Amino acid sequence: MTTDPHCDADLAEVGAEFTYFRRHCSSLDWRLLHLVFGSLALFLVLVAVGFAVAGAWLIIPFAGIEIAGLGIAAWWTLRRSGDFERLAFDGDRIVVEIREQGLLRQFEFNRCWARLVTGDAGTVALRSHGREIAIGRFCGEESRQALARELRNRLDGHRLYRINQVTSAGEA
Amino acid sequence: MDAAHAHTHDHGHDDHGHKPSGIMRWVKSTNHKDIGTMYLWFSFTMFMVGGVMAMIIRAELFQPGLQIVRPDFFNSMTTYHGLIMVFGAIMPAFVGFANWLIPMQIGAPDMAFPRMNNLSFWLLPPAAMLLIAAQFMPGGGAGVGWTMYAPLSTQAGPAMDLTIFAVHILGISSIMGSINIITTILNMRAPGMSLMKMPLFCWTWLITAYLLVAVMPVLAGAVTMTLTDRHFGTHFFNAAGGGDPVLYQHIFWFFGHPEVYIIAIPAFGVVSQVIPAFSRKPLFGYASMVYATASIAILSFMVWAHHMYTAGMPVEAQLYFMYATALIAVPTGVKVFNWVATMWKGSLTFETPMLFSLGFLFLFTLGGFTGLVLSITPVDVQLHDTYYVVAHFHYVMVAGALFSAFAGIYFWLPKWTGRMYNETLGKWHFWLSLIFFNVTFFVQHFLGLAGMPRRIPDYALQFAEFNAISSIGAFGFGLSQLLFLYIVIKCITSGDKAPDKPWEGADSLEWTHLPTPAPWHSFETPPVIK
């Protein structure tokens, strides 16, 4: 299958029968972010306090609001930079782990029952028993479709394998 | 285990196949290209509004005596011409460039905070309306100058309140834009796009955004203190109540001088893209350009009081600010040297973007030199508040920032529209702008040296000839910009189809990795930079 060359993740057989892992693409160097935020915050504090000493204390609240705004943006960016999506086929189980904006969620599907559904806008999701979870959120369009083909093959293959197992057990 | 929910449509603005249409495409847009386009059109509209104000100023100054407008209206025109051109025209123009180009140049699909990007644009029209509405308040617009010095501003009519509110809104918009640019550049670069591989335009905007975030609270505090002095009984700037009007000048210029570089540094970035493309050579001294830009930004915080030598300060302080100001010539000289060295032995061609860049190079350097003249304290004491200063900062703002913006628009117009502009008309626009600009402003140096003060509707007879020449130049310059509007509209509606890479020397990602015109969504899959 083709994968995006940009992320440090792709389809890989690690431990489980099949694992897919992809990170949110981020060029963030957290030390640089701290340097930018820290230097700006320090500068603003010095300027605001300096002018306050000279009598112009009303700069302080604006500096404070801006440091807070910048801090929220930095925190938000940092929080998203660790986001990932992991999908593992392990026997009859499909385990999906998604970390989005710092929040880790885990889902489990039965491999015999799970179906792959694709949407008009190129979205791909796993569906079973009324539950649906989008996958490939950190891929480009082309990679997501390639992932969908790979998953469909594996799901169909496993279903066929199970049917054959049951049939041969019945014959025996 | 968590319960699974439907997540198939949770990427609102990333809906790849769908391109919205109609007015809501623009109102709700989170697409960096649409928002960039809106910024550029808004900027041009404000450029026209500010330009009309300039025409009124120059019409009144065409002859000595009071002919056309009342003195208070004249003062209002000088005030809002400055405010609108700085905050409404030039700054939004470069934010428009940033929106269009930064994601494409670093290989990102969009800005880091697309919804905040939308909001930061849509704050601009209400602010512009407030500035225009201020003209119709009782007593007319506030004739306090773009610097809004106290105590004049604390005594002005109700238009001043609208102006203060507008400045606040513009400041909020700038801060949101800057935070977006910083996070986009730090977080969304394509793999392999290290900071020192970024196109210089991105570097200049990263530094500019840093400057904006650093100084905007100072401006917000200054105008808020003006507001509380006006309405809430404080005495920050009222000497009678124990305050200090000169403190306002310190605060304003602590913001105001970096503001000059907030305008100039992105202009450096544009020129640093255009000159190598038409020299068919890489930019000479890339690393030194980055360090020089950062040095200029740092020095810009240390020189504010050169705007207020005549306000009174110890001679040691005057010496310090004089030397510190002169020091800025060193990194600026590095940049000018590098642009010239880039052209040296290059395979030069002179299409319109290159002509405007060369115009920038010559005239901005001239504006820099007159800045050096003004940095010398005893000279400045003579020239302070004369037309020499007006000439100086128009060489920096118009021939510097505006010419660079024109260079950038002609350079990237094929990428934005998919069509070529008319090269002959573009060259006409350049030559008319260059000639009329110099006719307008070069003679103002002589007026200033002869002692004509700025911000006055009338003047002594001895200044009549140069003022008439300057006004003729201004009318010509204003009309030339209508030609620019015609060129852009003609390009959009009926220009020849542009090839993917119309400039063979252009080598940044938007030219090498994207088709022309740039698609609705670009770099959904980031490129890998070697």
Dump pLDDT digits (tens) for B112-133: 999 999 999 999 999 999 999 9
Q: Amino acid identity of A28?
A: L
Q: Tell the residue number behind the tokens 């015109």, with chain if given.
A: B517
Cβ contact A28–B113 (<8 Å): no
CB B26, CB B513: distance < 8 Å = no
| 3-class secondary structure, B426 | helix
DSSP string, B247-297: HHHHHHHHHHHHHHHHHHHHHHHHHHHHHHHHHTSPPTTHHHHHHHHHHHH
Helix axes B245-279, B387-396, angle to 10 degrees: 40
CB contacts, 8 Å: A33 with chain B? 186-187
* Whole-number pLDDT of residue B13: 39
pLDDT, one tens digit per residue, over B241-294 is 999 999 999 999 999 999 999 999 999 999 999 999 999 999 999 999 999 999
Q: Tell the residue number behind the tokens 């960096």, with chain if given.
A: B32
Residues B492-515: what's their mean pLDDT? 94
The domain in which residue B355 lies consists of: 30-512
What is the greatest pairwise CA distance in chain B?
A: 87
Residues A68-77: what's their mean pLDDT? 89
- Residue B143: CA count within 13 A, CB half-sphere: 15
Does A132 score more than 80 pLDDT? Answer: yes
Cβ contact B228–A43 (<8 Å): no
Does B305 score more than 90 pLDDT? Answer: yes
* Whole-number pLDDT of residue B523: 86
Of the listed ranges A161-170, B426-435, B456-465, the one predicted with least confidence: A161-170
Closest Cα to residue B146, out of B82, B232, B96?
A: B82
In a domain, B406, yes or no: yes
Does B426 score more than 80 pLDDT? Answer: yes
Does B14 score more than 80 pLDDT? Answer: no
Question: For B19, which residue in chain A has the nearest alpha carbon?
Answer: A121
Does B9 score more than 80 pLDDT? Answer: no
In a domain, B524, yes or no: no
pLDDT band at B425 (very low <50, low <70, confident <90, very high): very high
Residues A155-170: what's their mean pLDDT? 81
Which residues lie below 8 Å from residue B70, measured CB to CB, with a gap of 6+? none
Q: Of all residues in chain A, what percent carry a pLDDT higher than 70?
A: 90
Closest Cα to residue B1, out of A30, A12, A95, A27?
A: A95
Domain definitions of chain A by residue range: 11-26+82-171, 30-81
* Whole-number pLDDT of residue B16: 46
Residues B203-230: what's their mean pLDDT? 96
User: Mean pLDDT of all residues in chain B?
Assistant: 94
Measured CA to CA, the distance from residue A128 to residue A122 in angstroms comes to 19
CB contacts, 8 Å: B112 with chain A? 73, 77
In a domain, B521, yes or no: no
**If contacts are CB pairs under 8 Å, which of residues 7-66 in chain A contact chain B?**
7, 25-29, 32-33, 36, 40, 43-44, 47-48, 51, 54-56, 58-63, 65-66
Q: Give the per-residue SS3 of B175-213.
A: HHHHHHHHHHHHHCCCCCCCHHHCCHHHHHHHHHHHHHH
Closest Cα to residue B265, out of B48, B95, B503, B46?
A: B95
How many angstroms separate the CA of residue A59 from the nearest CA in chain B?
4
CB B108, CB B186: distance < 8 Å = no
Cβ contact A73–B175 (<8 Å): no
Does B98 score more than 90 pLDDT? Answer: yes
Instruction: Name the helix (H) or strand (E) containing B36.
Output: helix B32-60
How many angstroms separate the CA of residue B246 from the nearest CA in chain A?
11
Tokens coding B334:
């590095």
- Burial classification of residue A76, based on how many CB atoms lie within 10 Å of its CB (0-12 exposed, 13-18 middle, 19 or more buried): middle
Measured CA to CA, the distance from residue B160 to residue B83 in angstroms comes to 12
Measured CA to CA, the distance from residue B247 to residue A56 in angstroms comes to 8
Tokens coding B313:
């300060």
Does B15 score more than 60 pLDDT? Answer: no
Supply the ipTM of this predicted assembly.
0.89
Measured CA to CA, the distance from residue B65 to residue B139 in angstroms comes to 23
Tokens coding B224:
């808020």
Cβ contact B251–A65 (<8 Å): no
Tokens coding B281:
């050579």
Which residues lie below 8 Å from residue A141, measured CB to CB, with a gap of 6+? A122, B16, B524, B525
pLDDT, one tens digit per residue, over B211-221 is 999 999 999 99
Residue B344 sits in a domain whose CATH number is 1.20.210.10
Q: Of all residues in chain B, what percent carry a pLDDT higher than 70?
A: 97
CB B243, CB B282: distance < 8 Å = no
Which among A29, A106, A125 is the nearest to B2, CB-wise? A106
Which residues lie below 8 Å from residue B114, measured CB to CB, with a gap of 6+? B13, B30, B31, B32
Cβ contact A59–B113 (<8 Å): no
Closest Cα to residue B93, out of B4, B168, B205?
A: B205
Q: For chain B, percent helix, then strand, then coil, each to nearest 5?
A: 70, 0, 30
* Whole-number pLDDT of residue B428: 98
Residues B432-448: what's their mean pLDDT? 98
How many helices (H) and strands (E) would you count in chain A?
Answer: 3, 8
Q: Give the per-residue SS3 of B293-319.
A: HHHHHHHHCCCHHHHHHHHCCCHHHHH
* Whole-number pLDDT of residue A90: 83
pLDDT band at A118 (very low <50, low <70, confident <90, very high): confident
CA B84 to the chain's CA centroid: 11
How many angstroms separate the CA of residue B184 from the nearest CA in chain A?
9
DSSP string, B483-509: HHHHHHHHHHHHPPBPPS-SSTT--SH
* Whole-number pLDDT of residue A15: 56
Q: Amino acid identity of A53?
A: V
How many angstroms separate the CA of residue A172 from the nearest CA in chain B?
38
| 3-class secondary structure, A137 | coil
* Whole-number pLDDT of residue A10: 44
| 3-class secondary structure, A109 | strand
* Whole-number pLDDT of residue B473: 98
User: In the beta sheet, which residues pair with residue A20?
Assistant: A11, A87
How many angstroms separate the CA of residue B506 from the nearest CA in chain A?
24
DSSP string, B69-80: S-HHHHHHHHHH
Measured CA to CA, the distance from residue B522 to residue B226 in angstroms comes to 45
* Whole-number pLDDT of residue A4: 42
DSSP-assigned letter for residue B520:
S
In a domain, B518, yes or no: no
Annotated catalytic residues of B are 81, 110, 146, 173-174, 257, 259, 261, 272, 306-307, 332, 335, 454
Instruction: Please report, for residues A166, B13, B31, B516, the alpha-carbon distance to residue B19 in angstroms, rounded to integers and kept in the order given.
Output: 49, 10, 10, 17
In a domain, B7, yes or no: no
Question: For B186, which residue in chain A has the nearest alpha carbon?
Answer: A28
pLDDT band at A172 (very low <50, low <70, confident <90, very high): low
CB contacts, 8 Å: B251 with chain A? 51, 56, 59
Cβ contact A56–B528 (<8 Å): no
Q: Amino acid identity of B179?
A: I
* Whole-number pLDDT of residue A136: 85
pLDDT, one tens digit per residue, over A80-96 is 877 888 988 888 889 99
Instruction: Name the helix (H) or strand (E) containing B349.
Output: none
Tokens coding A4:
């995006």
Measured CA to CA, the distance from residue A39 to residue A31 in angstroms comes to 12
Instruction: Name the helix (H) or strand (E) containing A106.
Output: strand A103-110
Which residues lie below 8 Å from residue B116, measured CB to CB, with a gap of 6+? B176, B179, B180
CB contacts, 8 Å: A123 with chain B? 8-9, 11
Cβ contact B214–A32 (<8 Å): no
How many domains, in total, are found in chain B?
1
* Whole-number pLDDT of residue A13: 45
Q: Amino acid identity of B27?
A: V
In a domain, B387, yes or no: yes
* Whole-number pLDDT of residue B18: 59
Residues B475-481: what's their mean pLDDT? 97
What CATH number does the domain located at A11-26+82-171 have? 2.30.29
